[in-house]
Amino acid sequence: MHFCPSYSNDVSRERVHFGVVGTSSGSTWLARLFPRFPQTVPVEVYRYIGKIRMIVAACCVAYNVIAAMSIDFLGLHRERWLTAQIPNGTLIVATGLLGLVIWKGRLEAERLRQLTFVCVALETGSFLVNISLYGSLGSHMVLTAMLVALLYRATFDFRIGAWAVGLFIVGQLAIVGAEAAGWMGAQLAFSERVDDLYASSHRILTIAPLVVMMEVFAFWGVNWMVVRLQHKDRAIRLLRETLAAIEPGKVGRHTGRTLRDTYLVEALLGVGGMGEVYRGQHQRTRRAVAIKLLHPHMVDDPVLLARFRREAEIAGAVDSDHVVEVIDADVDDGQPFIVLELLVGRSLQETVEHSTGMDPAQVVQIASQVAAGLNAAHEASVVHRDLKPENLMLVETPDGLRTKILDFGISKIRGNATAITNEVAILGTPDFMSPEQAVGNNEAVDQRADIFSLGAVLYFALTGRRPFRASSVPSILMKICEEEPPPLVDFRPDLGPRGAQLAAVIAIAMAKRPEERYSTTTQLAQDFAVAAQGALPEEVMRRATTLRRGRPATTGVGDRAVSATNATLPATA
């Protein structure tokens, strides 16, 4: 069975909002003019519209040729109409040629997008030339131009639609001003008298704002409907993808995608709070890998994005056979991803849960390997800060069982700016965090916090239960700061005298004061191995007894732990 590095089987909740959240009700409706999610236009849409554009341009040229042959019949002013067709025909032909390039040219999406902006400008210019001939406010060309602009918004994205409407309104107002000033006659195309609408400049200037307002509201209405439909469609799609991604081994939202033309994304391995992990394959070397991708709705969050990138940075800095190997980290089309070695095995959590604990010999082996991995991290000035059974993978190898440490997502480098300053006060899984983490004093967290967590993990491996149990996070944090775990021998009486010695080693590792714990994970693993043989030195037993009898050094911090948790729970919910 395949398991995902760094992730539990928890399914993330996609939070989808049907609009941009504003600070007040007045700003919310205005914000909904803008899409909440990035709008991507498929290349096929650009090319299909390019084909339509070329056909429409050809029809316009044919219409103008027929109109030129029927000028007298249509009542057009011959000289003025023919003069206007020089720029108008040029714009139409240019639009048709660009439509052919967009349709048949093998261009990338960004280049097609740029050409579409140019086509919009050319087509708007053609409409404005005709509006100057048929009338700036009351002619059929005004309605036609506005409909085309709205179609651009419905077909493409907000920017292209706004570009079309903006150019049209600015050009129309310029023509209105020229007509009102007498620089340009109204309805120049016709040789008959001017309509009453254009009888005076005062009437033109009075009606123009109303017409422009109607055009703005028309665009707002169409845009609002498009945004709502797109948000609902995305919400439904994200929900379906998330539901489909619940069961590992199934097809996920990224399955079949090739990242950076190198990594083929295959079956989903697992889903976590920050992203998804897939089985993948390097296209050239055919090496099987694990690919971790950040949830789409988290890509725009700078804190979460920095934390995701930091995992690759920190894990890559640790050289150990007992730390998951980071192969690559990159971004593909705005999607960050990390490529890790593919691990086949079971997490310690899955191995121990629903049991009464593991054999001490197995736990000794796990303790030794985890200690080696943590020691390599500490020598690289890296503190894991979230060591727990879910982040320890037990992998079968030809040389026997090997333990791998996963998920350096909330790790920090001591004395380095890599730690994110805007992170919430409490980081880590509450059940296995140290007292100094429980009170939110992250600046004081060093390798001894990992030693406390390792002691809690060993307690879990031996007993099959977590060292601190409570019905709420604040209660767990208070117990971490104020209480000792239940005696190990109560759950493993079969261990005999060894049980007391193993409990003594765990007690030192989980001392409330950091300075009273083991100074290195190596010392912890060595004493644990000796205790499993029933040969722990007497001075170590006395040291543990003193810690048990002494009042917890952090007495009084429980209230601070509760306060810190209550202050940060909304941020971490």
Q: Which residues are catalytic?
A: 386
In degrees, to the nearest 5, what angle opens at C-alpha 445 toward C-alphas 441 and 449? 120
Q: Give, as one character, the DSSP assignment of residue 516.
A: G
- Nearest CA-CA partner of 450 in 398, 401, 383, 508: 383
Query: CA 356 → CA 206, 283, 353, 401, 465, distances in Å?
Result: 86, 44, 8, 20, 8
Residue 63, judged by CB atoms within 10 A of its CB (0-12, 13-18, 19+), counts as exposed
Q: Rounded to whole angstroms, how far apart are CA atoms 250 and 255?
A: 9
Is residue 416 a contact partner of residue 366, using CB atoms and an 8 Å limit?
A: no
Locus of tokens 């704002």: 209
CA distances from 500 to 257, 482, 497, 530 (A): 54, 22, 6, 12
| Count of all residues that appear for the chain in the document | 573
- Return phi, psi of residue 275, to 5°: 180, -165
Tokens 């493993």: give the residue. 492
CB atoms within 10 A of CB 526: 16
Which tokens hold the place of 362? 């197995």
Q: State CA 284 to chain mean position distance.
A: 28
**d(Cα 235, Cα 231) in Å, to the nearest integer?**
6
